[in-house]
Amino acid sequence: MKVIRNFFVPLPQNHKKKIMATYTITLNERTTSGKALIRYLQALGVLVKKVNPTKKSSYERSQDDIREGRVEKFESADEMFKSLGI
């Protein structure tokens, strides 16, 4: 199983120009290098917020299907069954 998390990382607070930037880093927390990177960012004090990816609802996925043209329209149920070979 692959676990991926998103983190928002600003520049360190002692940055000369005091300009705040946001970076999104996607990493696998279960790997050695992923764990090491998280510990490093926490040690720097720049890890601000851990964000879990949001899943789309069935309605949002259906709207995506319509926009992408992955739907078919039929005049009747008989026509649909004929198209499916039933």
pLDDT tens figures, 41-69 = 888 877 656 777 788 889 999 999 999 99
Residue 22: predicted pLDDT: 76
Question: By the 8 A CB rule, do 22 and 67 touch?
Answer: no
Residue 43: predicted pLDDT: 85
Question: By the 8 A CB rule, do 8 and 51 touch?
Answer: yes
Residue 5: predicted pLDDT: 58
Residue 1: predicted pLDDT: 41
Instruction: Count other Cβ atoms within 10 Å, centred on residue 71.
Output: 9
Residue 5 or residue 27, greater confidence = 27
Residue 2: predicted pLDDT: 47
Q: Is 50 exceeded by the pLDDT of residue 19?
A: yes
Residue 63: predicted pLDDT: 93
Q: Is 70 exceeded by the pLDDT of residue 3?
A: no
Distance CA 3, CA 7 (A): 13
